[in-house]
Amino acid sequence: MNRRERIQEQLQSALSPTYLKVTDESRMHNVPAGTESHFKVVVVSESFAEHGLVARHRLVNKVLQGEFGSGLHALALHTWTLQEWFEKGGVVPDSPQCMSGSKLD
């Protein structure tokens, strides 16, 4: 099982999301080929209804604590309730470019 699959499984189990998408964006960064270190995570869950943005991110980071201890470097997090997801039209913003560039540049 790769890191993307583990992240997906852990978040599915902990948050019971309505929608979950985990994207490996490591290739967009200046890391060796095959590195699984940078991910975009979109989580739509009613578990977030009682939490502000920072608390939502802390919750996700806590769920993935073991991954951070084994090479996960960065997450681009989008954490919404179902109502917020609908208000945004289901549109997820693009991740910013890596400041150190990528091996593709």
Helix axes 53-63, 3-15, angle to 10 degrees: 120
Q: Is the pLDDT of residue 4 over 50?
A: yes
- Average pLDDT of the chain is 86
pLDDT in tens, 24-48: 877 766 666 667 777 899 999 999 9
Q: Does residue 95 belong to any structural domain of this protein?
A: no
Give the residue with greater pLDDT, 2 vs 105.
Answer: 2
Which domain CATH number covers 12? 3.30.300.90
Please state, in angstroms and rounded to a whole number, the distance separating the CA atoms of residues 48 and 95.
22
In a domain, 72, yes or no: yes
Q: What is the distance between the alpha carbons of residues 80 and 64, in angstroms, rounded to a whole number?
A: 18
State the residue for tokens 């608390």. Answer: 55
**Per-residue pLDDT, 105:** 46
Asked, for residue 16, whether it belongs to a domain, the answer is: yes
Number of domains making up the chain: 1
96: in domain: no
